[in-house]
Amino acid sequence: MPFIPGTRKLSENTLNQYSEIRKPKKGYLPIRIRKVSFSNELLTIGIVLDKEPEEMVYIKATTSELLVSCSVDTHEGYLSRYAYFALYRLLYYHSEYDFEEYYWPGFFDQNSGVSKYLMILKSKDSLHIASKVRYKGFYKPGNQLPEVSENVITLRKTRPIIQEKPPKDSRTILGFCMADANNERHRTNHYPFLIPYTGILNKDKTKVKGFKNYVLNELNLSEINLTEEQQCLVGICFAMKKIALVASSEPKEDVLVLAKKREKNKQNFNSLFELWQKALPLLSGRLYTHYCYTFGMRHVKGKPSRSYMTPCSFSNETPEVCFLWKDIGDYYKLELRLMLDGKIRQVQYYYNTALFAMLCYKPRNYALLNSVMDDELVCFFQKRHFQLLVLKKHYDGYFKDFADQLRAIYKFTNK
């Protein structure tokens, strides 16, 4: 049975196309399944229909389709009721089921049926399959890799920064906060943007002890005399907020409407990156800067919550993406690193803020990446602990093309 294109998901519509069997509209048919084992890429499911004896259903996920067999009468032209109801029960109340967890082509020893790369955790009636921590980030044939531009992007030059000094006659200050909400579940999700706030300093004027308001318009600045640099930075902040909101998709939305939203989001994201580049020289030398995870644009109003405002800083240096390439027996390892001050630095993977990276040796110091393409690569590798592994048997073809494209653009170090 074919998956939804580009995924390892089986839809209910596809399942029903391969069988005329359906759950009775009247009456109750108890269906109990248990995931028995996962060996040699084969998932074995035990199924009990009502009071009948348990039968076994065998499932294998390939690159583009699901192979199904059964201990009873399933063959290439017929799907048994046991196989149908086992898949039906996996779907449960959803319209599709993702078999990505059970797609591990070539990762098993064919003689023993065991994989040294995987953890297979078994509970009473279920299984959980994942790569071991040291093997996190394995490439599987058919998986999408980031697109790499053919054009070399010149490293952004460092510009002089404006070094802020504590106010002499007042403890009321204008600070700047990176507002972040990179979780797509929020209906008012937004890209990271900069927003001004007013606050009160402590006695020695070293840190902000209290926050008054987010600055949403010029009226919120009546009590503060702005310098020319602050006025310029505030203007950039207002421009950012106008385009930071992400247009989210709606259930069963028209394909053309969804495509327009995605294109608009992409344009806004690129424009935000340009605004961040303009803001950086005016922002890097500021004394009072914070980070806030907003949980959506709807919360960016009124008084900032002190518990969510984390002091941070913004680097004026431009990190350069580079890669380490290692040959480790039966697989290759590709690691993403950042080069700063002539040294190769490791990136933190606990936090992921679009367009920025944080280095392990400087917590909460945000470094603006050199390009949108750099951001796409960092986001992709961040989900894999900044390493991408590939079995040598899977290297030639799509993955090799990807690695060669990276080598043409970025610095590679062979280990």
| Local structure of residue 207 (DSSP, 8 states) | S
Q: How many CB atoms lie within 10 A of CB 161?
A: 16
Q: pLDDT tens for residues 92-138?
A: 878 899 999 999 999 999 999 999 999 999 888 889 999 999 999 99
Which amino acid, one-letter code, is at 380? F
What is the helix (H) or strand (E) element at residue 241, kind and residue range?
helix 228-244
Q: In the predicted model, what is the mean pLDDT of residues 335-346?
A: 92
Are the CB atoms for 338 and 353 separated by under 8 Å? no
Q: Which strand (E) or helix (H) includes residue 339?
A: strand 331-340
For residues 164-168, give the mean pLDDT.
87
Residues ≥6 apart with Cβ < 8 Å to 33: 45, 46, 47, 48, 86, 89, 90, 125
Structure tokens at 388: 């991408």
Decide if 350 contacts 262 (C-beta within 8 A): no
Nearest to 195 by CA among 135, 242, 241, 163: 241
pLDDT given at position 151: 81
Q: Is the pLDDT of residue 261 over 80?
A: yes
Residue 106 and residue 110: Cα distance in Å, rounded? 9
The answer to whether residue 402 scores a pLDDT higher than 90 is yes
Alpha-carbon gap, residue 117 to 132, rounded angstroms: 6
Q: In this predicted structure, what is the pLDDT of residue 84? A: 94
Radius of gyration of the chain (CA): 27
Angle, to 10 degrees, between the axis of helix 372-382 and the axis of helix 255-283?
A: 100
Backbone angles phi, psi at 124, to 5 degrees: -60, -55
Alpha-carbon distance of 25 to 123, in angstroms, equals 32
How confident is residue 184, by pLDDT bands cut at 50, 70 and 90?
low
pLDDT of residue 234: 96
Q: Per the structure block, which two tokens stand in for 287?
A: 């004394």
Q: What pTM did the predictor assign?
A: 0.89
In 82-238 the beta strands, taken as DSSP E runs, fall at: 96-98, 118-122, 127-131, 172-181, 190-201, 208-214
The Cα-based distances of 198 to 141, 201, 220, 257, 377 in angstroms read: 52, 10, 9, 40, 36
Calculate the alpha carbon distances from 315 to 220, 279, 366, 401 in Å.
28, 12, 6, 34
- 260, 223, 210, 220: which is closest to 241 by C-alpha? 220
CA distance 213 to 4: 48
Nearest to 390 by CA among 323, 337, 349, 334: 334
Closest CA to 404 of 91, 224, 64, 145: 145
Backbone φ and ψ for 391, nearest 5 degrees, come out as -65, 145
